Amino acid sequence: MIEKVQIADIDTASENGPRTLKIRTKKNIIETPCRMITSTETKFRKDLALSPLDKRFEIETPLFERVYTPKLKTIQDFKRVNGALDRVKNSINRSLRGFDEGISFLNLRFKKDGEPPLDDIESLIHLQCSTKLDLVSIPDLNELSNKKDYEIYVRKHRKYVENISNKEAAPIVDMNNTEDVFRNKIDTIIENGFKLAVLRCRSFNYYYANYKYLRDTKKEEEIWFHMVDTLRDHPYTPLNYTNLPQIFGIDTVSPRTPYGGGEVKATIPEDTKRFDRLSFDNLPLKEQRRRYDGSLGCTCLVCQDRTVSEYIEEYEICENKKERNPVYKWSRIHEIFATNSEFQIGRKFIQSQEFDTYIRSKISARSFLDNLTSRFF
Ligand SMILES: [Zn+2]
C-alpha cells in the first residue's frame, strides 16, 4: 500500500525539525507536511453545503480519517452477536464514499476507562481488514510497557493484516507514554521496518521530552509520522496545533474531534472560535475583530476578504433549518482551507531552508517557541 517513503528536503538551517516527504502509495503521491480531512469535517460540509455551493467547497484530499471510539461491549459483540461486525463495517465503508482516490485510515481510540484487553485487539484488526480502509491501525495499550512485549504485539498484528488483506499496518503510539516507554515503542516500530507510525497528540509543553526525542533523533528516518487528534481548544493556551507538529518532524496531521461525536454547543456567532492565520491561534470572532480592526485576515473560499461582520451576517443564515450553529461549521471549513494553505506555504520555506523565519512570523507560534527555548535550553 505504501510503496516508498522518501525524504525530499530537510531544513538543516532550522533549530527545529521540519522536513518534507514524498510518500508513494498504490493510489497516489502524498507531499508533506500536510493534513488529513476527517469524517467529522466532511459531515460539516454535508450539513452546510447546499447546491450549488456543493462543488465549490469540495476539497481534494490525498488523506482521509474516520474516527472510531468503540465501546468495550461493541468489540466483544463482534464475536458473539450476529451482524455486529457487519454493522460497524458498513458504517465505516459508508463514510469512505467519495474518497476512493485517497488513502484512508481509522483513528481508533478508547475512552480513558475503556481500553480493551489484549485478547480483543484482534477483533478490531479484523474489522479494519474487512472494510475498504487502506491502512489498519494497531492501537496503543497501556499494558504494553515492556519493549519485548510491544515488539511481539506489533509484529503479530502486522502478520495478521498481511495474511488476510493487502493493507498496511500502522501502529499508534500515544504521546502520553512515559519517556522510556515512548522511546522503546518508537524505536521498535522503526527497527521493524514499519513505513508509518501514528502518534496521538498531547500537550507540547507537558510531553515535551517525547516531542524532543522525535525532533532530535528521527529527522532523518525514512518513516512517515502522522499525528492524530491535534489540539484546537486548550484550557490554557489559544494555540491551534494543526500546523505546529511539523516543528518536531511530524509529517502529517489530523485535527481532533471531541469524544462523543463532535456535537457542537449552540453559541452566539461572535464567540465562535476559528483558526487565525496571522497568529496560529484559535480565536473568537469578537477577538479577531478587536485585534485586526474588523478584518478576518484570510482569503480562502469561505472568507474571501469579508470583514468579521460580513462573515457573520452571511453565514449565520443557513438553508438547512435544523442547523443550529452554521457560523461554527463554516469556520471549521475555513480552517481546512486555511491550514492547508499554510502547509503549502510552509513547505516552500522548508525547501529554501527558512522555516524558522516562516514559523516565527506567526505571533503565537513565535511566543510558543520562545517559551520552549527559555524553559528547556
Ligand atoms: Zn478563511
Least Cα distance to 241 among 294, 202, 187, 192 occurs for 202
pLDDT of the residue at 264 = 57
Q: Is the pLDDT of residue 263 over 90?
A: no
The reported pLDDT for the residue numbered 54 is 66
The predicted pLDDT at position 220 comes to 94
How far the first Cα of the chain sits from its last, in Å, is: 41
State the distance from the centre of ligand 1 to the C-alpha of 227, rounded, in angstroms. 23
The residues, any chain, with a CB within 8 Å of residue 6's CB and separated by 6 or more, are 21, 22, 23, 24, 222
Average pLDDT, stretch 46-62? 71
Using CA atoms, how far apart are residues 278 and 4, in angstroms rounded to an integer? 35
Residue 276 Cα to ligand 1 midpoint, Å, equals 8
Q: What is the pLDDT of residue 35?
A: 92
pLDDT band at 136 (very low <50, low <70, confident <90, very high): very high
Q: How far apart are CA 230 and CA 239, in angstroms?
A: 11
Distance CA 247, CA 280 (A): 13
Write out the residues surrounding ion ligand 1, Cβ under 5 A. Answer: 298, 300, 302-303, 334, 338
Does 64 score more than 80 pLDDT? Answer: yes
pLDDT single digits (tens) 69-124: 999 999 999 999 999 999 999 999 999 988 888 899 999 999 888 899 999 999 99
Beta strand pairing status for 273-275 and 37-38? unpaired
Helix (H), strand (E), coil (C) string for the chain: CEEEEEEEEECCCCCCCCEEEEEEECCCEEECCEECEEHHHHHHHHHHCCCCHHHHCCCCCCEEEEEECCCHHHHHHHHHCCCHHHHHHHHHHHHCCCCCCCEEEEEECCCCCCCCCHHHHHHHHHHHHCCCCCEEEECCCCCCCCHHHHHHHHHHHHHHHHHHCCCEEEEEEECCCCHHHHHHHHHHHHHCCCCEEEEECCCCCCCHHHHHHHHHHCCCCCCEEEEEEECCCCCCCCECHHHCHHHHCCCEEEECCCCCCCCCCCCCHHHCEEECCCCCEEEEHHHHHHHCCCECCCCCCCCCCCEHHHHHHHHCCCCCCCCCCHHHHHHHHHHHHHHHHHHHHHHHHHHCCCHHHHHHCCHHHHHHHHHHHHHHC
Q: What is the mean pLDDT of the chain?
A: 91
Q: What is the distance in A from the centroid of ligand 1 to the CA of 175?
A: 30
Distances in Å between the Cα of 302 and the Cα atoms of 50, 170, 296, 324 are 14, 34, 11, 19
Question: Separation of 56 CA from ligand 1 center, angstroms?
Answer: 14
Q: How far is the CA of 248 from the centre of ligand 1 (A)?
A: 26
333 CA to centre of ligand 1 in angstroms? 8
289 has pLDDT over 80: yes
Confidence at residue 265, expressed as pLDDT on a 0 to 100 scale:
63
Tell me the three cell numbers of residue 97: 464514499
Nearest to 173 by CA among 137, 149, 135: 137
Return the closest-CA partner of residue 208 out of 241, 186, 175. 175
pLDDT digits (tens, 9 = 90+) for 194-234: 999 999 999 998 999 999 999 999 999 999 999 999 998 77
- Residue 52's pLDDT band, with cuts at 50, 70 and 90, is low
Cα separation, 305 vs 123, whole angstroms: 50
- In the predicted model, what is the mean pLDDT of residues 22-34? 94
CA–centroid distance, 334 to ligand 1, in Å, is 4
pLDDT tens figures, 231-261: 987 777 889 999 999 999 999 999 987 665 4
CA distance 247 to 277: 17
pLDDT at residue 262, as a whole number? 47
Structural domains in the chain plus CATH codes: 2-376 (3.20.20.105)
d(CA 277, ligand 1 centre) in Å: 8
The predicted structure's pLDDT at residue 302: 92
CA of 53 relative to ligand 1 center, distance in Å: 16
Grid cell 514499519 is found at: 194
pLDDT bin (cut points 50, 70, 90) of residue 51 is: low
